[in-house]
Amino acid sequence: MARVLELASLDPAKFEIIVRDNSENSLKAEILSKVKSSALKLLSAPNRGAFENPVEALREATGDYVFLVADDDWISARGFQQLHTLAERAVTDPTVASLTGTYLVDSTDGAGLFRYEELDALSAEKRLESYLSANTSNFLYYSAIRRAHIEFCFDFLARLPYKFSYHDQLVSLMYLALGRTLQITQILYHYDLGEWETRDRTLLKDRAMYIAAGLPVAYDRLHFLFAALEGALVLRSRMLKERASYETPKMIELWFGSMFNRFRFNDRGADYGGDNFDAATAAVRAKWLGEVRASLDELLLDITDLLELCDKKRAANYFEFWSTL
């Protein structure tokens, strides 16, 4: 509530604050309704999930840039005002895709500052290399993005055959391909690690997404292999290359190599039940750990075959989507 009040106090001539409350909590809805601000647009809706909610809130945005704020995080009003000043200067520069600042990262062990390096490089490959080398949570997702770019990316999200927890990283990958990120020096965003703070909690969140997608938890064994494949196919797609300028083989090498290394050195450490799905995912993992060169088309076929074990129709949709993107 305090976050809403602070943001609602911003200049309505410069900012619009869209709150889409999907908590289905009548008390919260009543409290929010008492906030009076011409900058605030309050929407209430049934809970449709972590991806659907921002996609639907985005439809209400009218500004040049859109900034997502998670309900467990905090944003600096002063930082936001300085970001607006930067946006006014950058809005006519077509090489700029997004804007951000310094992140204050909070955990039970303490707090610290994080700032990306070289995201303002003209080279998309340099931007992606910097993002991947940071090897941290996906803070970039919480940036001010040109509305046309975020609409493009969220339309992609809405069409995905399955929703997995790493898909916010695919969105950031697209941001990096679409253009430069400029940064203010001030603290802009307070990121609470919360349930993503420990490896065990992260695994629980990831596995919950597979279960919600109607897949056995054993598919979590291939988490980073899924991410490697899908990100590489995004970079190879006509969809993205029609809007962005980058060296496709180099970008794919950077993304796939980084995610595949996570797949190689992280076995996710779980007993997946010893059933047919456990055996099938273990076989795919063993095969790809032994591959010297990765073929995206072969990997897509292997993943599709796995998905067919659960639902042949959805597996066919998955193959159709990713092979024709």
pLDDT value at 1 more than 60:
no
Segments making up each domain of the chain, as ranges? 1-47, 63-196, 199-323
Neighbour tally for 202: CB within 10 Å: 15
Q: Which of 30-34, 118-122, 190-194 has the highest mean pLDDT?
A: 118-122
Does residue 285 carry a pLDDT above 80? yes
Concatenating the DSSP letter of every residue in 45-56 gives -----TTHHHHH
Residues 6+ apart with CB under 8 A from 143: 67, 98, 99, 100, 175, 181
More confident residue, 291 or 101: 101
CATH architecture of 63-196: Alpha-Beta Complex (3.90)
Averaged pLDDT for residues 118-137: 94
As beta bridge partners, residue 192 has: 106
pLDDT tens figures, 214-253: 999 999 999 999 999 999 999 999 999 999 999 999 999 9
Prediction pTM value: 0.90
